[in-house]
Structure 1
Amino acid sequence: MASKRLPVLFLDDIVLLPGMVVQIELDEAAQAAVDAARTSSGSELLIAPRLEDRYASHGVVASVRQVGKSRGGSPAAMLRTAVRAKIGSGVTGPGAALWVEAEPVAVDAPTAHVRELAAEYKQLVVSVLQRREAWQVIDSVSAIDDPGDLADTAGWAPYLANDRKRELLETPDVEARLRLLIDWTRDFLAESEVSDKIETDVRESVEKRNREYLLREQLKAIRKELGEGDAAGTDDYRTRVEAAELPDAVREAALREVDKLEKAGDQNPEAGWIRTWLDTVLDLPWAARTTDNTDLEAARAVLDADHHGLAEVKERIVEYLGVRARREERGLTTVGGRGSGAVILLAGPPGVGKTSLGESVARTLGRKFVRVALGGVRDEAEIRGHRRTYVGALPGRIVRAIKEAGSMNPVVLLDEVDKVGSDYRGDPAAALLEVLDPAQNHTFRDHYLDLDLDLSDVLFIATANVLDTIPQALFDRMELISIDGYTENDKVAIARDFLLPRQLERAALSADEVTVTEEALREVAANYTREAGVRSFERLLAKAFRKVALRELPATVGADDLKDLIGRPRFMPESSERTAVPGVATGLAVTGMGGDVLYIEASLLPGDKGGLSVTGQLGDVMKESAQIALSYVRAHADELGISPEQLDHPIHLHVPAGAVPKDGPSAGVTMTTALVSLLLGRNVRAEVGMTGEVSLTGRVLPIGGVKQKLLAAQRAGLTEVYLPQRNEPDLDDVPTDVLAALTVHIVSDVREILASALESVSPGVVTTAA
């Protein structure tokens, strides 16, 4: 077909296809194009879409049928589109319109395959129109025989976006257009079916809810007239309570609440509280209990497999199992009475295995295990629960632990009982008294439940780092088992048997790929960690394995490799360096992290007014110890060979690491020794450590934490330790390898320490006192 010179009009919001009759409003550009068409081109012009991304390459030749005004009163023109045309180059023409060369697109005669596609598309279009009930349009579409004309009816399709209509305009081939339309129409029908199904489901659901609401209201009215009064499905609660295995007292209380619920209306706020309370009561395992494994040999095997050492703890658990088995044999273990409940307190520094030991106990017994973290708890309601009258009330942690365990005889680990606080909300430690007292906990009453709960068959295990912060009344109800820490040999054995396999697995390594020598483990235990437990030890192993995993495997980690893997040793023996001058003595102390070595320094200051100043963030007890030590030295100056003039000078007593608070009744002998060392000018022997409180008469008073202090002395490289005489029985708890490495001197008077702890005076050396 010959090309034509036609004015062109680009439309922004519409895409026209052949065979369409539309009305367009005339702006300045449209008016110029229509005027040019009517005066110079036989009323023909080219209409093309102008979308956001680009101009179209094709347009449609349209004729101007009528020019007038729209219903809104603005100028408008009625256009009828005819054939496609490819837009050529711009040309000049009369008027203000833009003129282009338009080449009409020739249409081939339809083939049989094209007619098959047209028939398939016609069926799809009829389906769409039937969904919209557009019966007149169906008749019009059904009367179209030409496949090209049928495809161009898509210009009226509201479900096709303008960019798709432009694609149809730019696709002259009828077969290609029909294929596109068939795919698009199928997708639209599929989406419509899903949308209609969702709409139908929503409508049916709303209708069902409305119908059920109406029926419930009618049923409520009928029951109200009959005097039966069940308005909110409380028959279900009554059935559940009657079917549940509940103690008689609990069943009676639950049925009373069901009666209240039946009498309460939907608008009564108590209805929600009652339902929540009933759900909580019914969820508790009132009749569920696990059967204890009383095989003592199997129990020992489990405990030995899970933990190294800890002989006293393991023996205590085996004793509990043995007594439990005997009670069962004689029929003495009764439910709801004073059972064999026991409360064990595992006290020791972090990292010694207190929490994991609780898990092992549960596994040994075959019981459920639940951990209750008490650190930072300050609200009494956390233990006893809230009153039901409070909004958001919940049972206490003990009841929730029983519910979580699903058994009335679990192992409940009360973790960090020493960190329980108190404030205006009550004292949680006081609330624990009833929980942990074997003589009372068979009738424990939670504020939320307000029912007696039998806890006598629960095995409570509490853990603590320090004992000083545990209230005495609470401490009195627990059986103390101290886990003071591990020796170097213990740490090596734990690392070899437990830590290495676990960290190898976490680093995706195997024992065949990485081997750690005994010397390397011993070096880490001796010079890289200075702790009672093994947490730092395990962290260092993890660090080493992460680096080894990036190297060539298999690999062997020896003592010489540690510097490259985990850095330089962090702890080296420093006693000889610290005590190289007079006035420094080595003491032994116990902190929340276990035993530790404490260096106490004394110095004479210029002046003649005397006096004592102490630094190092000391507590009141240690300040009193310093004053007692100075008083003892003043009272026995002649006996000790100290010049009275020296005591006229001010004395400064300092305990390094001032950022760490320090207090406790065990530094008296160390302070006395440091003062005498300073005033005599004789160094304290570097290998010596000491602990004990001193009286004004020089008596060495007993202290606590002997095992932890001797472990700390061994770790620090000391070889001699002075202990109070009354602490001699505590040596039975100290491991034999520690006692073999230390020479322990039992003393009753501080003079015994002063006589042997100070270095001897070499011939020709004159002391300060002289």
Structure 2
Amino acid sequence: MTNPDSAPISTVPVLFVTDPVLLPGMVVPLPLDETATAAVDAAQATESGKLLVAPRLEDRYPSYGVIATIVQVGRMADGQRAAVVKGERRAHIGAGTTGPGAALWVEVTEVADPPITDEVRALAAEYKKLVLALLQRREAWQLIDGVNRMTDPSALADTSGYASWLTDVQKRELVETPDVAARLRTLIDWTAEHIAETEVSDKIADDVRNGMEKTQKEFLLRQQLAAIRKELGEGEPDGTDDYRARVESAELPDKVRDAALREVDKLERASDQSPETGWIRTWLDTVLELPWSVTTDDSTDIKGAREILDADHHGLVDVKDRIVEYLAVRARRAERGLQVVGGRGSGAVLVLAGPPGVGKTSLGESVARALGRKFVRVALGGVRDEAEIRGHRRTYVGALPGRIVRAIGEAGSMNPVVLLDEIDKVGSDFRGDPAAALLEVLDPAQNHTFRDHYLDLDLDLSDVLFLATANVIENIPAALLDRMELVTIDGYTADDKVAIARDFLLPRQRERAALAESEVTITDDALREIAADYTREPGVRQFDRLLAKALRKVATNIASGTTTAPVQIGVEQLVDHLGRPRFTPDVEERTAVPGVATGLAVTGMGGDVLYIEASATDGDPALQMTGQLGEVMRESAQIALSYVRSHARELGVDPAALDRRIHIHVPAGAVPKDGPSAGVTMVTALVSMATGRRVRSDVGMTGEVTLNGRVLPIGGVKQKLLAAQRNGLGTVFVPQRNEPDLDDVPAEVLDALTVRPMTDVAEIVALALEPAVASGTVAA
């Protein structure tokens, strides 16, 4: 790399050095060994007295060096000879040549600085700012003045030869960079990077220093405070005397008091710097905050308790009866002196199972109010960590007691009503199984000594009234369900919904919409229409939302002046306030062709109708099933087809009509379906398809079937009959062995339906199918 403005060629002795690296403008001492002495002597013998100082490179011959003048030759402090040289100008190294003495001689071309452009001035200004910032951080005030006085960009760049943050490799690169602009750009990058690293290092050092200073300061202050308190006779400053007094004055069980005093002893012996101190303090605070000896007195007014339950909830007779029975038994035990200290023997653990919106959660608050107890709700939906129930070990950072212990502390008494909400939605993973941890909590024979991992103490839960809620009983582990008494809430009838809406929902929504009873009313016929055509749910949650929607529209119309009070909403006004009905009767439409039968099923949302379709196409005999069916329903379909084929003559079916490709479909294919209650419906659909006789549109059925045609019992009879009533069915076939379950079905539902208990599926088929249009009817 040559410069067009180079000076004439001259011959000088050359000295290759590794350290220090010389740049123009620098004055440095060079130790004189044999080679350096020869170069210095040769330079002094010339007229100019100059020599070339070039960096020694390992991989190649250098291209540039610095012409230097010998300022002085003498000895350093250690006695070694040295020469002080001053760098003057860069020079391009040419070919080697000969000269006097033992030194090496080369031809050099001095490099002249190019004209200073605006770009070079800008780069020089930026580099100067970086250098000044760095010098200010190091408080090098004398150097700052010198840098401020420099105006030559090349000289400013070459001052980097003194920079301690640059390595020898970087300085050698600067020697071989004659272009000022390129040299300044390189220096700007290196200096900015070094400043950034310095700032990070300084911050870390400051943080460490401040932390050490704070720790030392706190230690000294604690020592001084301890000495002052000792002189004043005020005891230890760490609060251990306070904890000991609190434990001794608290009403704790003997075992709990002994455990707490042992922890206080550890606290007194522990150093303030020990992490165990914090754990002990937190544990003691938790133990002292629990209401070990606090209980509330149960109400013994049986009549008053029933009035509270009836005022808060419509229907739910089974649940109300069970709570009243519990109260009556406790009252008699108290009268006869049989009440055990700590409440052991109450054994009341109820699980309220039913679809959403039937009032399971709100019932817990009513039970607590009827009993005169505190109420706490513990949400279990989605809980997967066993520690949420049993608590964490104290050695873990952020350890807490489990939700049961926290609920007791929140209630402030040892006999609250604890509602375990959504117990069927507890999960499990690598952190354990919370449902397994609940086994001890909900077992009346064990929970008087429940041990939380955090407390590590026996906690008596036998006097706690546990209520659990669930939508799907099958999702609760069998061992856990065995600990609880099952109370099923199957849903409300249309009359129940009208009564609930009139007495509970409508007044509440009027208050929320800021409407008086004199301003808006909804007729019973309109409420019944909402229950029939706008909501077909077992509960009343959607019903409540629709009432809120209607009343919001009324409030808006009154405020805007389009309507004046009073407003009455009847059946004719529902479309204006709620839109068109969402549900319309479709059973007759769905069963208008042969091969479609109406079944009844139970889901997590309650009972519902289930249509099963059957058709046949030409091809090899085979069974195809669609509709996302589970294994149990697939088996039911295979059993149904086998039964129809083996009893074809008895059922009036031409056997040839079944020697085809049979397709069974259950609509709503996006919804998984399974369960042992669709067998009779599938048999009816297959016979209807094979004979061409339609299934009566007012008929619904449920039950499992065997290979010989016996109808087996099923579950959820009440929910299925409620669904049949909601969907306008008239006759329902149920298994004969489910006849006792009809006692739980509301009378109004039984009055609206004709329930036929059956034992043989052939009888169901005969009664469910319409008569043949004409003799000789063949399969469709």
TM-score between the two structures when normalised by the length of structure 1? 0.71
- Give CA deviations for 1:258-299 in whole Å, capped at 9, x if unaligned: 000111101111110010100100010111111111100100
Q: CA deviation at 1:324?
A: 0.7
1:117-132 → structure 2 map (5 Å cutoff): none
SS of 1:523's equivalent in the other structure is helix
Query: Which residue pairs with 2:279 in the alignment?
Result: 273
Residue 572 of structure 2 corresponds to residue 566 of structure 1? no
Query: Which residue pairs with 1:584 in the alignment?
Result: 596
- Give CA deviations for 1:531-573 in whole Å, capped at 9, x if unaligned: 0000111111011011111222221111100001101111111
1:737 to 728, 736, 748: 748
1:293-308 → structure 2 map (5 Å cutoff): 293-308=299-314
**Residues in 1 aligned to 2:453 and 2:500: alpha-carbon distance in whole angstroms:** 44
Q: CA deviation at 1:634?
A: 1.1
Q: CA deviation at 1:755?
A: 1.1
- Give CA deviations for 1:215-263 in whole Å, capped at 9, x if unaligned: 64146469999xx995622111111111111000000000000000111
Query: Which residue pairs with 1:431 in the alignment?
Result: 437
Query: Which residue pairs with 2:556 in the alignment?
Result: 550
2:703 to 687, 692, 708: 692
1:514-529 → structure 2 map (5 Å cutoff): 514-529=520-535
Regions of 4+ moved over 6 Å: 209-213, 221-225
Query: Which residue pairs with 2:768 in the alignment?
Result: 757
**Residues in 2 aligned to 1:453 and 1:562: alpha-carbon distance in whole angstroms:** 56
Q: CA deviation at 1:392?
A: 0.6
**Residues in 1 aligned to 2:511 and 2:587: alpha-carbon distance in whole angstroms:** 39
Is contact 1:231-1:266 (8 Å) kept?
A: no
- 1:422 alignment partner AA: S
2:368 to 362, 386, 390: 362
- 1:328 alignment partner AA: A
Q: CA deviation at 1:606?
A: 2.1
**Residues in 1 aligned to 2:343 and 2:749: alpha-carbon distance in whole angstroms:** 46
**C-alpha distance 337-561 of structure 1, shift in aligned 2 (>3 A):** closer
Residue 676 of structure 2 corresponds to residue 665 of structure 1? yes
Residue 590 of structure 2 corresponds to residue 575 of structure 1? no
SS of 1:612's equivalent in the other structure is strand
Query: Which residue pairs with 1:315 in the alignment?
Result: 321
Is contact 1:229-1:262 (8 Å) kept?
A: no
Query: Which residue pairs with 2:403 in the alignment?
Result: 397
SS of 2:376's equivalent in the other structure is strand
Query: Which residue pairs with 1:419 in the alignment?
Result: 425
**Residues in 1 aligned to 2:302 and 2:597: alpha-carbon distance in whole angstroms:** 49
Query: Which residue pairs with 1:190 in the alignment?
Result: none
Residue 227 of structure 2 corresponds to residue 236 of structure 1? no
Query: Which residue pairs with 1:768 in the alignment?
Result: 778
Query: Which residue pairs with 2:502 in the alignment?
Result: 496
- Give CA deviations for 1:184-209 in whole Å, capped at 9, x if unaligned: xxxxxxxxxxxxxxxxxxxxxxxxx9
Percent of aligned positions that are identical: 77
**Residues in 2 aligned to 1:223 and 1:260: alpha-carbon distance in whole angstroms:** 21
- Give CA deviations for 1:681-734 in whole Å, capped at 9, x if unaligned: 000000000000000110000000000000000000001000001000000000
**Residues in 2 aligned to 1:314 and 1:368: alpha-carbon distance in whole angstroms:** 18
Is contact 1:352-1:532 (8 Å) kept?
A: yes
- 1:352 alignment partner AA: V
- 1:329 alignment partner AA: E
- Give CA deviations for 1:456-479 in whole Å, capped at 9, x if unaligned: 000000000010010000000100
- 2:318 alignment partner AA: E
- Give CA deviations for 1:587-619 in whole Å, capped at 9, x if unaligned: 000000000000000010221x11101111111
- 2:434 alignment partner AA: P
Q: CA deviation at 1:630?
A: 0.5
Name the stretch that deviates more: 741-750 or 209-218.
Answer: 209-218
Is contact 1:631-1:696 (8 Å) kept?
A: yes
- 2:637 alignment partner AA: A
Is contact 1:385-1:448 (8 Å) kept?
A: yes
SS of 2:245's equivalent in the other structure is helix
**C-alpha distance 392-210 of structure 1, shift in aligned 2 (>3 A):** closer
**Residues in 1 aligned to 2:311 and 2:624: alpha-carbon distance in whole angstroms:** 53
SS of 1:372's equivalent in the other structure is strand
Query: Which residue pairs with 1:624 in the alignment?
Result: 635
1:451 to 436, 449, 457: 457
Is contact 1:641-1:769 (8 Å) kept?
A: no
**Residues in 1 aligned to 2:718 and 2:351: alpha-carbon distance in whole angstroms:** 17
Q: CA deviation at 1:211?
A: 11
Query: Which residue pairs with 1:350 in the alignment?
Result: 356
**Residues in 2 aligned to 1:373 and 1:266: alpha-carbon distance in whole angstroms:** 38
SS of 1:259's equivalent in the other structure is helix
Q: CA deviation at 1:645?
A: 1.8
Coordinate RMSD, CA, aligned? 2.2
**C-alpha distance 210-506 of structure 1, shift in aligned 2 (>3 A):** farther
Q: CA deviation at 1:212?
A: 9.5
- Give CA deviations for 1:118-153 in whole Å, capped at 9, x if unaligned: xxxxxxxxxxxxxxxxxxxxxxxxxxxxxxxxxxxx
- 1:324 alignment partner AA: R
Q: CA deviation at 1:641?
A: 2.2
Query: Which residue pairs with 2:689 in the alignment?
Result: 678
Segments of structure 2 that go 5 or more residues without pairing to the other structure are: 1-214, 558-562
**Residues in 2 aligned to 1:697 and 1:535: alpha-carbon distance in whole angstroms:** 44
SS of 1:493's equivalent in the other structure is helix
- Give CA deviations for 1:467-500 in whole Å, capped at 9, x if unaligned: 0010000000100110000000000000000000
1:253 to 259, 264, 276: 259
Q: CA deviation at 1:338?
A: 2.4
- 1:598 alignment partner AA: L
Is contact 1:333-1:340 (8 Å) kept?
A: no
Name the stretch that deviates more: 327-336 or 506-515.
Answer: 327-336
Q: CA deviation at 1:213?
A: 7.0
Is contact 1:578-1:584 (8 Å) kept?
A: yes
**Residues in 2 aligned to 1:246 and 1:557: alpha-carbon distance in whole angstroms:** 61
Is contact 1:418-1:464 (8 Å) kept?
A: yes
**C-alpha distance 211-625 of structure 1, shift in aligned 2 (>3 A):** closer
Is contact 2:689-2:779 (8 Å) kept?
A: no
Query: Which residue pairs with 1:27 in the alignment?
Result: none
- 1:734 alignment partner AA: V
Residue 691 of structure 2 corresponds to residue 647 of structure 1? no
TM-score between the two structures when normalised by the length of structure 2? 0.70
**Residues in 2 aligned to 1:382 and 1:532: alpha-carbon distance in whole angstroms:** 32
SS of 2:395's equivalent in the other structure is coil
**Residues in 1 aligned to 2:764 and 2:501: alpha-carbon distance in whole angstroms:** 38
Residue 332 of structure 2 corresponds to residue 326 of structure 1? yes
- 2:690 alignment partner AA: L
SS of 1:345's equivalent in the other structure is strand
Residue 721 of structure 2 corresponds to residue 718 of structure 1? no
Query: Which residue pairs with 2:543 in the alignment?
Result: 537
1:134-149 → structure 2 map (5 Å cutoff): none
Q: CA deviation at 1:335?
A: 2.6
**Residues in 1 aligned to 2:403 and 2:490: alpha-carbon distance in whole angstroms:** 29
- 1:536 alignment partner AA: Q
Residue 612 of structure 2 corresponds to residue 606 of structure 1? no
Q: CA deviation at 1:327?
A: 1.0
Is contact 2:365-2:375 (8 Å) kept?
A: yes
Is contact 2:343-2:463 (8 Å) kept?
A: no
SS of 1:676's equivalent in the other structure is helix
